[in-house]
Each structure stands twice: as structure tokens, then as C-alpha cells.
């Protein structure tokens, strides 16, 4: 290509995890100290998300514990998110009797996924949830909680055999092994879908933005083409960015909602 720009590297650099931050005109490499322990851009963003959540929610918890009213638009907004997730998602999915035990995890899960999603809206940052390694760990955590919950409520054998829907007579005896295999396969596929759904939505959206942005340097060789293409690309990317902002909230909601549903299914079997 006449511009000499590696478009593949330009596009991939905006969506993949790396050991550096790509800012204009330079790469800021992440120090690994004496040993390469795998500290990458996404790892640093996740640490930043954890710190941000502590800064937001620890003061809020202190106020609530002390009986102080929550004042201010920001704190009221956070409280609206918390109460909505509790009253409209978690309690209906799990049940009022058991929901309080899972509220800390599900609240934390929602805001962690949300803030990681929003990291992709920041210049030169990225969405850790666009990596299958991150979403995979989150899905494994949900899987472990669901299995432990089911075993606590129904016992080890009762939980796994409880996946088989009630069937009577000889037909039930014949179909039970096949239904168990089918339900067991479906059980693990559902948790795998948590990982793939979140990763694909976040990765795909940012990849689309990166591809559109790559049109600008690709057309730089012709000034008569560069100006209109740049204008169209900027308008398109702004529109897609608003869509990505909505998707960031939506995917955090869906991930938490499905996790609540799976926990509720482990408690309330067939």
C-alpha cells in the first residue's frame, strides 16, 4: 500500500491486549520488574476498576452503615442502580429468601463488568471484557457459585440428578440417562455462553470502530478523498460509540441477570 501503514496492526492494536499503551507517536511499555509476570494493558485496567469501585462503594457503605442519608446526584444514581438490580433482577430470579446471600457478589459483578466495558470508551485504553480470558474467568466464577449453591441446597447427588425432569413409568427409566447427559451438556453450554456473549459483543463493537478509523490513514494518499472520508468516518464512529455506550450497560445487565437466573435454577430445581 502506498501510504506504508500497516492497517492490520493499526486495527488490532485498538482491540487486543498488549504489554504497552499505544498513544499518539509512541508506545508506553508496561514495566514487568525483574520477571515477566504477565502485567498487560487489560490487567492494569482491571486493577484500576477495582480501585475505582473501592473509592465509590466503601464511602457509600460507611454512610449506609452509619445511618446517614445518601445525598447528591452521583450517590443517588449509584443507589438507583443498586436498588434496581436488587428489586427487579436478583430477588425475582433467586427468591426473596435466598437473594440477600448473593447480593454482594452480583452487585460487584455488575459494576465490575460495567466499568470494564466502559474502559473501552476511554482514549488509548480498552475493554478487558473484550478478552476471552477475562470473560472466561468471570464465567468460571459463576459456574463455581452455581454448583456450590446447588450442592448446598440439594446435596451432591441431588443437585446433579435434579437436572433430570420428572418422568414416570418405564419411559422415564429409559430416557433418564439420555436426559441427564443432555441436561449436563446444556448446563455447561449455558455458562460458556456467558463468556462468549460478553466477549463477542465488546470485541466486535470496538473492532468495528477500529476498522472504520483505519479508513482515514488508508485514504491519506489522496487529499480529495481524505477530507470527505474523514468526515464520514468521524460521524459514523461517534454514532457507533453511542451504541457501544448502550451496549456496555446492556451487557453488564445481561451477564448479571443470567448469573442470577442460573443461581435461582440451582436453588429451585425441577
2 lies in some domain:
no
Q: Which of 135, 138, 112 is nearest to 52 (CA)?
A: 112
pLDDT in tens, 199-210: 998 888 878 887
Give the total number of structural domains in the chain.
1
1 lies in some domain:
no
Cβ atoms of 227 and 84 within 8 Å: the answer is no
29 lies in some domain:
yes
101 lies in some domain:
yes
43 lies in some domain:
yes
Query: Which domain range does residue 128 map to?
Result: 7-267
Residues near 60 by beta carbon (within 8 Å), at least 6 away in sequence:
70, 75, 78, 79
- Separation CA 173–CA 245 (nearest Å): 51
pTM confidence score: 0.86
186 lies in some domain:
yes
Residues 109, 111, 112, 114: is their CA dihedral positive or negative? positive
Chunked mean pLDDT (size 10), the chain, 270 residues: 47 66 70 69 90 90 78 85 93 92 94 92 83 92 95 91 78 81 91 91 83 78 79 88 91 95 88
208 lies in some domain:
yes
Amino acid at each position: 500500500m502506498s501510504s506504508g501503514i500497516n492497517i492490520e496492526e493499526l486495527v488490532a492494536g485498538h482491540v487486543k491486549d498488549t504489554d504497552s499503551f499505544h498513544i499518539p507517536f509512541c508506545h508506553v511499555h508496561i514495566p514487568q520488574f525483574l520477571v515477566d509476570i504477565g502485567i498487560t494493558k487489560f490487567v492494569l485496567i482491571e486493577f484500576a476498576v477495582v480501585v475505582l469501585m473501592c473509592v465509590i462503594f466503601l464511602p457509600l457503605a460507611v454512610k449506609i452503615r452509619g445511618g446517614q442519608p445518601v445525598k447528591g446526584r452521583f450517590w443517588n444514581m449509584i443507589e438507583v442502580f443498586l436498588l434496581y438490580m436488587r428489586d427487579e433482577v436478583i430477588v425475582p430470579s433467586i427468591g426473596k429468601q435466598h437473594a440477600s446471600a448473593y447480593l454482594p457478589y452480583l452487585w460487584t459483578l455488575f459494576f465490575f463488568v460495567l466499568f470494564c466495558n466502559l474502559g473501552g470508551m476511554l482514549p488509548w485504553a480498552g475493554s478487558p471484557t473484550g478478552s476471552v480470558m477475562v470473560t472466561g474467568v468471570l464465567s468460571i466464577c459463576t459456574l463455581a457459585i452455581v454448583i456450590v449453591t446447588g450442592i448446598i441446597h440439594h446435596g451432591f447427588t441431588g443437585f446433579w440428578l435434579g437436572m433430570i425432569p420428572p418422568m414416570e413409568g418405564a419411559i422415564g427409566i429409559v430416557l433418564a440417562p439420555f436426559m441427564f447427559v443432555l441436561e449436563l451438556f446444556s448446563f455447561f453450554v449455558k455458562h460458556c455462553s456467558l463468556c462468549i456473549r460478553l466477549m463477542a459483543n465488546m470485541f466486535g463493537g470496538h473492532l468495528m470502530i477500529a476498522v472504520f478509523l483505519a479508513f482515514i490513514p488508508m485514504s491519506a494518499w489522496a487529499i480529495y478523498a481524505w477530507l470527505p472520508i474523514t468526515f464520514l468516518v468521524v460521524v459514523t464512529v461517534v454514532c457507533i460509540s453511542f451504541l457501544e455506550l448502550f451496549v456496555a450497560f446492556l451487557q453488564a445487565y445481561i451477564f448479571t441477570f443470567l448469573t442470577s437466573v442460573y443461581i435461582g435454577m440451582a436453588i429451585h430445581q425441577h
